Structure 1
Amino acid sequence: METKTPAKKTASKTTASKTAAKTSSKSTAKTPAKKSAAKELKDLFEDSLKDIYWAEKALVKALPTMMKNATDEKLKTSIENHLAETENQVTRLEECFKALGKKAQAKKCDAMQGLLDEAKSIIEETEPGTVRDAGIIAAAQKVEHYEIATYGTLAAFAKVLQEEDCLKYLLETLDEEKKCDELLTKVADTNLNSKAM
């Protein structure tokens, strides 16, 4: 019996190795690109601009619902101020398209749609008051973090592509998104999360 136990372990290791090899070969398989796929960084840059343009326009529609459902005055004011900023960010993106000699065009952003759907669910699944306010802040900060990542990447692309006008617009928006995120953290920290307990 003692000699069979190592044999079983060896057999298990062999099976595990084969499974790992199959998984490894599957994960390294290349996904075929669509016919409209970006071939150069400039294509990816323009495609990503369309994505965030859609996202910002969707956010302009969603922020009033968040504001209406918030009860904390500082939170309501923060959302109201960011709505005005977001409208300006849409205009900045239009200027960026213009600087590239392109018509401003939106392409549905699945990531933003998912974040906004989650925000809607949080509102529906919380009682009005501090708990809902805490949920709205959480949802809003997820949106801000997505935007910070997106604008940071777009600014890096614009820099490499030497699109100076776009870079200026993107950095201005990136700064606003970071400040909004910091403000939401302050609102949450000023006893709002403690009250929600």
Structure 2
Amino acid sequence: MATKTTAKKTTSKTVAKKAGKTPAKKDAAKQLKDLFEDSLKDIYWAEKALVKALPKMHKNATDKKLKTAIEKHYNETKVHVKRLEECFSALGKKAQAKKCDAMQGLLDEGKGIMEETEAGAVRDAGIISAAQKVEHYEIATYGSLAAYAKVLNEKDCLKNLLATLTEEKKCDQLLSKIADTAINTKAK
């Protein structure tokens, strides 16, 4: 006795949905090089947004060491933008920014901290916290981009990405030192 089996028509979207996967957009990255270029566009937007945000943080900070650190990183960030432009050029691409939702969220959070704290040590502690969240995001991004550049044999990009990664890590360490040696105790 034979049994009839009815086959359900499935699509890749249905399979992806059942597996808890998000279906890819039509213009989705298909190769590591595509992901690399898309990620460069995101961090390029992020660095340009930071060039605008850092002066506001500087203006709201009160601790002299913190203000100096922010000013130093502002100048470094302008260099980071130029390095990314060099990466695009090395890839034969026009520098293009794509809104980075993660960075926008971090910058919005930083703005909220400045609005919700009184000027002084508490606001300075909040500024450091917000700045370190940004630094950690950048460290993760530049680390990933450097790994991609290495695999893709993009030596010029790799050199620039590693230089920026080093500066981001140093900034994070400096912010920790400033918080630990003075600001957090004053804010207590």
Both structures adopt the same fold (TM-score exceeding 0.5):
yes
State the match for 2:147 in structure 1: 156
Give the counterpart letter for 1:162 in structure 2. Answer: N
Q: State the alpha-carbon separation in 1 of the partners of residues 186 and 160 from structure 2.
A: 39
Larger radius of gyration: 1
- Equivalent residues in 2 for 1:168-187, closer than 5 Å: 168-187=159-178
State the match for 1:122 in structure 2: 113
2:17/2:23 contact within 8 Å kept: no
What is the CA deviation profile of residues 54-113 of structure 1, one whole-angstrom value per residue up to 9, with x for unaligned ones? 000000000000000000000000000000000000000000000000000000000000
SS of the equivalent of 2:117 reads coil
SS of the equivalent of 1:78 reads helix
Unaligned stretches of 5+ in structure 2?
Answer: 1-15
The reply to whether residue 113 of structure 1 matches residue 104 of structure 2 is yes
State the match for 2:19 in structure 1: 28
Give the counterpart letter for 1:41 in structure 2. Answer: L
Q: State the alpha-carbon separation in 1 of the partners of residues 160 and 147 from structure 2.
A: 12
Aligned length: 173
State the match for 1:78 in structure 2: 69
Unaligned stretches of 5+ in structure 1?
Answer: 1-24
Q: Percent identity?
A: 78
Q: State the alpha-carbon separation in 2 of the partners of residues 188 and 88 from structure 1.
A: 25
How far does residue 190 in structure 1 lie from its aligned partner after superposition?
1.4
Q: State the alpha-carbon separation in 1 of the partners of residues 22 and 78 from structure 2.
A: 37
Q: State the alpha-carbon separation in 1 of the partners of residues 39 and 140 from structure 2.
A: 12
Instruction: State TM-score, norm by structure 2.
Output: 0.90
Q: State the alpha-carbon separation in 2 of the partners of residues 119 and 57 from structure 1.
A: 16
Q: CA RMSD in A?
A: 1.1
More helix per residue: 1 or 2? 1
* Structure 1 residue ranges (4+ consecutive) displaced by more than 3 angstroms after TM superposition: none
How far does residue 136 in structure 1 lie from its aligned partner after superposition?
0.1
How far does residue 52 in structure 1 lie from its aligned partner after superposition?
0.2
SS of the equivalent of 1:128 reads coil
CA shift in 2, pair 1:60/1:26, >3 Å: same
Q: State the alpha-carbon separation in 2 of the partners of residues 36 and 95 from structure 1.
A: 25
Q: State the alpha-carbon separation in 2 of the partners of residues 27 and 42 from structure 1.
A: 29
Instruction: State TM-score, norm by structure 1.
Output: 0.86
State the match for 2:158 in structure 1: 167
State the match for 1:57 in structure 2: 48
